[in-house]
Structure 1
Amino acid sequence: MPFLRNFDNFSILDYLSNIIDILLVWFVIYKILTLIRGTKAVQLLKGIFVIIIVRGFSGVLGFHTLSWMMEQALTWGFLAVIIIFQPELRRALEQLGRGRFFSRRSLAQEDEEQMHLIESMAKAVNYMAKRRIGALISIERETGMTDYIETGIPLNSKVSSELLINIFIPNTPLHDGAVIIQKNQIAAAACYLPLSESPFISKELGTRHRAALGISEVTDSLTIVVSEETGSVSVTKNGELHRDLSAEEFQQLLEKELLLGKSKHGSSTLWSWRGKRKNG
Structure 2
Amino acid sequence: MDLTILSGVFASPWNIIRALIDISIVSYVLYRILLLIKGTRAEQLLKGLIILLVFSVVASFLNLDMVNWFVEKLWIVFAITIPIVFQPELRRILEQIGRGKFFSTQSKFIQIEGYQKIVNEITDAVTVLSRNRVGALIVITREAELDEYLDSGFDIDATVSAGLLVNIFVPNTPLHDGAAVINKGRLEKAACFLPLSDNPYLDKELGTRHRAGLGISEVSDAISIIVSEETGAISLAKDGQLNRYLDKQSLKDMLGKDLIIREKWSETFRRRWSSDRKKQEKKHNGS
User: Is this a same-fold pair by TM over 0.5?
Assistant: yes
d(CA) in 2 for partners of 1:191, 1:59? 40
Q: Contact 2:123/2:248 (CA < 8 Å) preserved in 1?
A: no
Q: Contact 2:141/2:223 (CA < 8 Å) preserved in 1?
A: yes
- Rate the CA distance shift 1:83–1:226 in 2: closer, same or farther, 3 A: closer
d(CA) in 1 for partners of 2:72, 2:228? 55
CA offset at residue 101 of structure 1? 0.3
Corresponding letter in the other structure for 2:6: F
Tell me, yes or no, if structure 1 residue 7 matches structure 2 residue 6. Answer: yes
- Rate the CA distance shift 1:263–1:30 in 2: closer, same or farther, 3 A: farther
Tell me, yes or no, if structure 1 residue 101 matches structure 2 residue 99. Answer: no
Q: What RMSD in Å do the two structures reach over aligned CA positions?
A: 5.1
Counterparts of residues 142-181 of structure 1 (less than 5 Å): 142=143, 154-155=152-153, 157-160=155-158, 161=161, 164-170=165-171, 179-181=180-182
Q: Contact 1:140/1:221 (CA < 8 Å) preserved in 2?
A: yes
Q: Contact 1:139/1:180 (CA < 8 Å) preserved in 2?
A: yes
d(CA) in 1 for partners of 2:63, 2:76? 20
CA offset at residue 24 of structure 1? 1.9
SS for the counterpart of 1:137 is strand
Q: Contact 2:235/2:244 (CA < 8 Å) preserved in 1?
A: no
SS for the counterpart of 1:111 is coil
Tell me, yes or no, if structure 1 residue 89 matches structure 2 residue 87. Answer: no
- Rate the CA distance shift 1:153–1:90 in 2: closer, same or farther, 3 A: closer
Q: Contact 1:111/1:259 (CA < 8 Å) preserved in 2?
A: no
Counterparts of residues 1-150 of structure 1 (less than 5 Å): 3-9=2-8, 10=10, 11-106=12-107, 110-111=109-110, 115=114, 126=124, 129=127, 132-133=131-132, 134=134, 135-142=136-143
d(CA) in 2 for partners of 1:145, 1:94? 12
Counterparts of residues 210-229 of structure 1 (less than 5 Å): none
Structure 2 unaligned blocks of 5 or more:
267-287
d(CA) in 2 for partners of 1:90, 1:190? 16
Q: What's the % identity of the aligned pairs?
A: 34
- Rate the CA distance shift 1:125–1:14 in 2: closer, same or farther, 3 A: same
CA offset at residue 92 of structure 1? 1.1
Q: Contact 1:125/1:226 (CA < 8 Å) preserved in 2?
A: no
CA offset at residue 49 of structure 1? 1.5
Structure 1 unaligned blocks of 5 or more:
198-206, 266-280
Residue by residue over 1:130-170, the C-alpha shift from the partner in whole angstroms, topping out at 9 and shown as x without a partner, is 6844555342334x597xx97x9942644434763333214
d(CA) in 2 for partners of 1:241, 1:145? 28
Residue by residue over 1:29-63, the C-alpha shift from the partner in whole angstroms, topping out at 9 and shown as x without a partner, is 11111112343322322232122122211111111
Residue by residue over 1:210-244, the C-alpha shift from the partner in whole angstroms, topping out at 9 and shown as x without a partner, is x7xx96x9897556577999x99998989799854
Q: Contact 1:178/1:192 (CA < 8 Å) preserved in 2?
A: no
- Rate the CA distance shift 1:120–1:23 in 2: closer, same or farther, 3 A: same
Q: Contact 1:179/1:189 (CA < 8 Å) preserved in 2?
A: no
d(CA) in 2 for partners of 1:27, 1:64? 38
CA offset at residue 97 of structure 1? 1.2
d(CA) in 2 for partners of 1:102, 1:67? 39
TM-score by length of 1: 0.58
